[in-house]
Amino acid sequence: MQPRLLNNAGTRMVTDEKILVTGIYNGKTYHKMRKPMFWEAMGNFSRCYVRVGKSVYRGEPSYNDNGVLVFDFMKCYKVR
């Protein structure tokens, strides 16, 4: 499915693809496939915003050995 743009500048987009979100949240290991809130284009790369519990994290996911996008929110910026 093609990404849908959220603003007129074309820098924010939404897709239906899921990524693997990992980390430790409230003392428990978090390891789930989640759909990002949206992606933000930053030149040649993009970063995504993911909601974990009541918090929102911003970061750049990377591919693991199996070709799955992994978002480790322990290494990302907490937006709120």
**Can you give the pLDDT at residue 40?**
87
pTM of the model: 0.82
Residue 46 contacts residue 17 (beta carbons within 8 Å) = no
Choose among 61, 58, 77: nearest CA to 69: 61
- Per-residue pLDDT tens digits for 6-45: 666 667 788 888 899 999 988 889 999 999 998 888 777 8
Instruction: Identify the H or E element spanning 18.
Output: none
**Can you give the pLDDT at residue 1?**
47
Using the predicted structure, report yes or no on whether residue 50 has a pLDDT greater than 90: yes
Query: How many other C-beta atoms can be found within 10 angstroms of the C-beta atom of residue 28?
Result: 8
Choose among 4, 78, 66, 64: nearest CA to 38: 4
Domains of the chain: 4-78 (2.30.30)
SS3 category, 35: coil
